[in-house]
């Protein structure tokens, strides 16, 4: 992608999501995500009118006069966006890929955080950690986060030593062939990403894990991370991952393993079985995250990104208001 095209794409997302943050999400972000609460600041001499329960008895005994603890409210949040950029995220059957939907979601969250003077960080991962951007404040920093989610590419050297880039994934009619590059971001390792989060963050963060969750054995790691951080799982799917059109025989590529599967999409029984399995997978994911006390958001890459996020904010507001 040319630099001019990248700037234009990021600018379009900035304009669109900026309006949505102002018109739809204004106030919801602040009411849902609180700061770390109150933190100890200092002790000072007791003056009439101070609450007796705030007296620091150890200091009082040592100094021979009453002293109280003083606390300050810490409002600033740290938002960590953990975006899956494995090969399956490049898939898109409509106007945008799953990765482009992820970039728009990250923009909504980053600009909401910037509006509230919070810090935003980014971790891009696949089978490994691809890039880590420490949390900072400011509009320029948020734009960088969006740009990296949208355009960052891993490359791997080919037989001639030159780097080969990952191509966008499509459904292939049976009989047609296309070369697919095997890249360094083919698989997904969510557990490794969670371990990395715990290693680089020392204070509590609000962490959005944005992925299609084509991985195994990651729930335990997400549970461990949720004990320290506020972890939210965001599933992004494409309509063609949930239902196959009737177009005859298909060669379907698994982008994360490179395996090719032949599917008879002309069979109504096969389509029904596929639809049932994929819908059950989403239900199972939601149930497992709920059991682990991890919030869950499902986003359709072909639809609105702001509506599911606003719905999530309203749900959190109701829950905190109890």
**154-195 residue pLDDT tens:** 444 344 444 444 433 333 333 333 333 334 556 899 999 999
**102-144 residue pLDDT tens:** 988 998 898 888 888 889 999 999 999 999 999 999 888 988 8
Q: What percent of the chain has pLDDT over 90?
A: 36
Average model confidence (pLDDT) for the chain? 80
Rounded mean pLDDT of 48-70? 88
pTM, full prediction: 0.76
Q: Is the pLDDT of residue 247 over 60?
A: yes
Ordered by start, the domain boundaries in the chain are: 43-73, 75-157+165-316
Q: Is the pLDDT of residue 297 over 80?
A: yes
**Assigned CATH class of 75-157+165-316:** alpha beta
Q: Which residues of 143-175 are buried (b: 16+ CB within 10 A; e: fewer)?
A: bbbbbbbbeeebeeeeeeeeeeebeebebeeee
Q: Which residues pair with 55 in a beta bridge?
A: 68
Q: Is the pLDDT of residue 35 over 80?
A: no
**194-226 residue pLDDT tens:** 999 999 988 889 999 999 999 999 999 999 999
Q: Say if residues 235 and 209 touch (Cβ distance below 8 Å).
A: no
**Better-predicted residue by pLDDT, 71 or 53:** 53
Confidence of residue 33 (pLDDT cuts 50, 70, 90): confident
């Amino acid at each position: 992608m040319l630099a001019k095209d990248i700037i234009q794409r990021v600018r379009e997302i900035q304009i669109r999501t900026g309006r949505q943050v102002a018109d739809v999400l204004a106030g919801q972000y602040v009411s849902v995500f609180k700061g770390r609460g109150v933190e100890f600041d200092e002790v000072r001499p007791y003056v009439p009118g101070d609450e007796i329960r705030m007296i620091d008895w150890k200091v009082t005994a040592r100094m021979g006069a009453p002293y109280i603890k003083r606390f300050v409210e810490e409002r600033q949040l740290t938002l960590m966006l953990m975006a899956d950029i494995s090969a399956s995220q490049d898939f898109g059957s409509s106007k945008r890929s799953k990765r482009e939907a992820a970039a728009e979601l990250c923009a909504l969250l980053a600009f909401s955080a910037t509006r509230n003077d919070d810090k935003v960080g980014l971790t891009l991962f696949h089978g490994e950690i691809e890039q880590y951007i420490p949390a900072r404040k400011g509009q320029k920093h948020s734009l960088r986060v969006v740009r990296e989610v949208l355009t960052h590419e891993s490359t791997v050297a080919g037989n001639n030593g030159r780097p080969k880039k990952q191509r966008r994934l499509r459904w292939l009619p049976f009989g047609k062939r296309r070369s697919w590059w095997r890249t360094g971001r083919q698989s997904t390792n969510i557990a490794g990403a969670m371990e990395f989060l715990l290693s680089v963050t020392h204070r509590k963060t609000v962490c959005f894990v944005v992925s299609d969750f084509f991985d195994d054995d990651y729930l335990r790691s997400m549970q461990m991370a949720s004990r320290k951080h506020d972890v939210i799982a965001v599933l992004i799917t494409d309509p063609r991952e949930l239902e196959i059109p009737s177009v005859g025989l298909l060669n379907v590529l698994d982008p994360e393993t490179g395996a090719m599967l032949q599917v008879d999409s002309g069979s109504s029984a096969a389509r029904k079985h596929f639809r049932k399995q994929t819908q059950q997978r989403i239900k199972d994911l939601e149930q497992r995250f709920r059991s682990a006390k991890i919030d869950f958001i499902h986003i359709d890459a072909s639809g609105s990104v702001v509506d599911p996020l606003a719905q999530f904010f309203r749900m959190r507001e109701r829950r905190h208001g109890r």
